[in-house]
Amino acid sequence: MIFVTDYMILAVLLFSIGIVGVVSRRNIIVLYMSIELMLNAINLIFVALSRQYEQLDTQVAALMIIAIAAAEAALFLAVMVLLFRNRRSLDANVFNLLRQKEATSND
Amino acid sequence: MTNSSLLAFIVLLPFASSLFLGILYLLFQNKIKELTYSIFGIGSVLTSSILTLYIATDFFQNENLNHLSYVAYEWLHIENFIINVGFFADKLSIVMISFITVIGTLIHIYAAGYMHKDEGFGKFFAFFNLFMGSMLLLVLGDNPIMLFIGWEGVGLCSYLLISYYHKDAQNVKAGNKAFILNRIGDFGFLIGMLLLFLYAGTNGFSYGALEANIASVSPTVLTSIALLLFVGAMGKSAQIPLYVWLPDAMAGPTPVSALIHAATMVTAGVYMVARFAFIYNLTPEVGIFIAYIGAFSALLAALIAAHQDDIKKILAYSTMSQLGYMFVAAGLGLYSGAIFHVFTHAFFKALLFMGAGVLIVAMHHKQNIFELRMHRSLLPITFVTMLIATLAISGVPPFAGFFSKDAIMAQAFASGQYGIWLITTFTALLTAYYMFRLFFTVFFGNRNIHLHEIKQSMQLPLIILAVGAAFAGFLNIPHFLGGDIQFSHWIAIADRAEHLSVTTEWILTLVNVTLGAVGILFAWKNFAYNPMPSDQSVINVVFMRKFYVDELYELLFVKNIRRLSYLFSTLIDVKLISEFIRAASAGYYKLGILTGQVQNGNVRFYALYMTLGVIGMSIYLLEFVK
């Protein structure tokens, strides 16, 4: 018998894998995939709860997320193309323009 | 009825003209004529004196007019504590400002001649007018705060004017000395004023309110207030132990000595004591102390003056000596007598200084009386006017000094203070001696020398002042000479005058006159024909070196303070304070670098921080929010 908590545990696992992916991987495409993974973990929770309480409201939310994620994917891929054209690289560590500049000594 | 706002104009005119001259001098320096500077410098003071005399005539004509006051605006208002920028004139202030403005004007005219071709002509007049403004503010302010502003103003101006020839380090030192010693006195004065405010200032801080409240102050507090206020007077009026600045102050140009260190600023202390007569009348024991300080200052100064060779130094010590007389009078409760001596002294001392200035200019800036020796026909006007002034200061009847000084000594005798009476009488003898020593030495020579040209503007004021020095005494003829001490009655301060029988008064007067004559004869014998500086015997050297008081102060205070400053500048400041501040700034810097590491521009790290934040918030919500 599969309980709703099992779906929850799976979703938490997927979400954690997504976070670890975002934090630890340097390839921007993998980053993006990790983000998608986290989104889908949330979707899984929505759907599992919808089933548990037999209500369709949350499924609507899940469908909304899928739709937005699709749009986001289009935008993200376009951004990635631009990033690659700029730096010839998709390493996330290369894009660190907003870092603190090297400190200059004042005494 | 006079418009009392004129009082404000009397004070404001010199200030305004000082500011104007200062700007003019900064912009043009010597490119405009001396005449322009003189017109504004003298004009403002002249206008003030005309206004003063106009108000004074009102006081003369209208018996019921006791005081005028004018409030310009409210300066401070903290709950019940109100300080007005206000001006107040009673008869005491009127007497003071009358001679301050009139003699001030004469000295300004004289200065225009004396400072001729000086490169800082405009600057000099700016300072001079600033001084006049401060002095008038001191006298006309309607509360002790205003008095204190003027008090500090004259201190500042005296510093500026003493070190006027600032290219010589010695003069700058003299200016510093005057300023610092005055500050020591002011410290006492300030504490006295604060105590006065704390204990008597509940209904406002004007003189009237203070006088109404003074009876409720406990005697101990009142004694300390009286003493502390007098400490201020010691500094300003050059009394023991804060007198050492006055002789050094002669480093300034001679008109400065005449204006500040003879006629006006040094009398501020006497004025202050007379102004606070309502306090000093309740503390007669402090009065006795003041009188003794005055008497000893008078004696000490006279002893030193009798052994000096520098004409301006002699006059400086004689000023200090005469100030001693004024404090004897003020301490013994004869405030009107003190003010009357201030009044007559202003005439003859300004005259003496200006005469000395003429001599110094004529003899190409020599100051030693033995080098100044000349035949009297060379400078007839100076000779006659200085003779009158010397007779006046020596207390020879009927010149001004006789009446004012005699009244003081009579008061000392009548109060039963025979010690003070003896000292002052002996000082009177010394005064006659050292003044005529100066006079005979300078004017009874036979040398016919070529003199530097003397401007008319330097001679005219001498004549006017000589008239004052000769006749001012008749304003206050005592009873036993058939007068009615009109001045003392008119000025209406709460005197504690004692009365003597007519015979005693005659005897005292005769004693004084005889002693004066003895002093003059003694000086004639020693200095008229073959004057010699004092020989180098031990006792004379002690007198010449001013009892080594300067050296003593140097040893006791100056050296120790210098050591302390050295300690602070090398050890405490550098090692402690600087290091502490440096460490604090370096600490912030390092902290900044450290926290800056977080901001590394990597989006992955930002995601991590966000996650950590969310985890933190989640833990908080789960564990701590019920």
Instruction: Summarize pLDDT for B237-259 with one digit per residue, the tens.
Output: 989 888 888 888 888 899 999 98
Terminal-residue alpha carbon distance, chain A: 70
CB atoms within 10 A of CB B252: 26
Q: Which residues of B touch A (CB under 8 A)?
A: 582, 585-586, 589, 592-593, 596-597, 599-605, 607-608, 611
User: Is B601 in contact with A23 (Cβ distance < 8 A)?
Assistant: no
Measure the CA–CA gap between B377 and B374, rounded to whole angstroms.
Answer: 9
Which range, of A54-68, B10-24, B331-345, B359-373, averages the lowest pLDDT? Answer: B359-373
pLDDT tops 70 at residue A105: no
On whether the CB atoms of residues B522 and B437 are closer than 8 A, the answer is no
| Closest approach of A96 to chain B, Cα-based (Å) | 4
Between B82 and B96, the higher pLDDT residue: B96
Can you tell me whether residue B89 is helix, strand or coil? Answer: strand
Per-residue pLDDT of B323-344, as tens digits, reads 999 999 999 989 999 999 999 9
Which range, of A21-35, B55-69, B169-183, B322-336, averages the lowest pLDDT? Answer: B55-69
Q: How high is the pLDDT of residue B454?
A: 80
Reading the block at residue A26, the tokens are: 């340097």
Largest Cα–Cα separation, chain A = 70
Q: How high is the pLDDT of residue A106?
A: 47
CA distances from B524 to B220, B234, B371, B440 (A): 51, 34, 18, 7
pLDDT confidence tier of residue A68, bands split at 50, 70 and 90: very high
Give me the residue label for tokens 């992916």.
Answer: A21
ipTM metric: 0.81
Per-residue pLDDT of B23-49, as tens digits, reads 999 988 777 888 888 899 999 999 999
Average pLDDT over residues A16-42: 92
pLDDT tops 70 at residue B348: yes
Average pLDDT over residues B219-224: 91
pLDDT tops 60 at residue B366: yes
Whole-prediction pTM: 0.79
Average pLDDT over residues B406-412: 90
Measure the CA–CA gap between A35 and B361, rounded to whole angstroms.
Answer: 99
pLDDT tops 70 at residue B1: no
- Measured in whole angstroms, how far is the alpha carbon of residue A35 from the centre of its chain? 1
User: Is A100 in contact with B603 (Cβ distance < 8 A)?
Assistant: no
Reading the block at residue B324, the tokens are: 């001693």
- Measured in whole angstroms, how far is the alpha carbon of residue B620 from the centre of its chain? 74
CA distances from B450 to A60, B116, B379 (A): 121, 20, 11
A27 pairs with which residues across the strands?
A91
Cβ contacts of A31 on chain B, cutoff 8 Å = 603-604
Cβ-defined contacts of B169-177 (< 8 Å, 24+): B170/B251, B171/B251, B171/B252, B173/B248, B174/B245, B174/B248, B174/B249, B174/B250, B174/B251, B174/B252, B175/B251, B175/B252, B177/B244, B177/B245, B177/B248
pLDDT tops 50 at residue B195: yes
- Residues B237, B242, B243, B245, CA torsion sign: negative
Q: Which amino acid is at B610?
A: M
Measure the CA–CA gap between B403 and B338, rounded to whole angstroms.
Answer: 12
Measure the CA–CA gap between A52 and B373, rounded to whole angstroms.
Answer: 127
Per-residue pLDDT of B253-283, as tens digits, reads 999 999 888 778 889 999 999 999 989 999 9
Measure the CA–CA gap between B437 and B442, rounded to whole angstroms.
Answer: 8
Cβ contacts of B594 on chain A, cutoff 8 Å = none
Q: Which of B124, B156, B372, B391 is nearest to B254 (CA)?
A: B124
Q: Helix (H) and strand (E) counts for chain A?
A: 3, 0
Which range, of B100-109, B485-494, B513-522, B554-563, averages the lowest pLDDT? Answer: B485-494
Per-residue pLDDT of B412-466, as tens digits, reads 998 888 999 999 999 999 999 999 999 999 888 887 777 887 888 888 889 999 9
User: Is B600 in contact with A106 (Cβ distance < 8 A)?
Assistant: no
Per-residue pLDDT of B299-311, as tens digits, reads 999 999 988 889 9
Q: Which amino acid is at B219?
A: P
On whether the CB atoms of residues B239 and B327 are closer than 8 A, the answer is yes
A22 vs B586, B596, B604: nearest CB: B604
Average pLDDT over residues B113-124: 87
User: Is A98 in contact with B607 (Cβ distance < 8 A)?
Assistant: no
Can you tell me whether residue B368 is helix, strand or coil? Answer: strand
Cβ contacts of A19 on chain B, cutoff 8 Å = 607, 611
Q: How high is the pLDDT of residue B456?
A: 82
Average pLDDT over residues B88-114: 91
Average pLDDT over residues B380-398: 91
Between B530 and B503, the higher pLDDT residue: B503
Q: Which amino acid is at A10?
A: L
Q: How high is the pLDDT of residue A102?
A: 63
Q: Which of B90, B88, B131, B63 is nearest to B335 (CA)?
A: B90
Q: Beta strand B67-78 with B81-90: parallel, antiparallel or unpaired?
A: antiparallel
Q: Please name the residue ranges forming H helices in B201-259.
A: 207-213, 219-236, 245-248, 254-258
Terminal-residue alpha carbon distance, chain B: 84
Provide the strand spans (E) within B266-346.
none
Cβ contacts of B595 on chain A, cutoff 8 Å = none
B81 pairs with which residues across the strands?
B78
pLDDT tops 50 at residue B194: yes
pLDDT confidence tier of residue B322, bands split at 50, 70 and 90: very high
Q: Which residues of A touch B (CB under 8 A)?
A: 19, 22-26, 31, 92-93, 95-100, 103, 106-107
Per-residue pLDDT of B526-567, as tens digits, reads 888 877 777 777 787 887 777 888 888 888 888 999 999 999
Average pLDDT over residues B99-105: 92
CA distances from A79 to A30, A74, A84, A97, B602 (A): 14, 9, 9, 16, 17
Q: How high is the pLDDT of residue B286?
A: 92
Cβ contacts of B604 on chain A, cutoff 8 Å = 22-26, 31, 92-93
Q: How high is the pLDDT of residue A107?
A: 43
Average pLDDT, chain B: 88
User: Is A95 in contact with B608 (Cβ distance < 8 A)?
Assistant: no
Per-residue pLDDT of A69-94, as tens digits, reads 999 999 999 999 999 998 888 888 88
Site from B598, B603, B609 to mutate, A interface, most A CB atoms within 10 angstroms:
B603
Q: Which of B477, B484, B480 is nearest to B501 (CA)?
A: B480
Q: How high is the pLDDT of residue B120?
A: 85
Q: Please name the residue ranges forming H helices in B394-501.
A: 400-414, 418-443, 456-471, 486-491
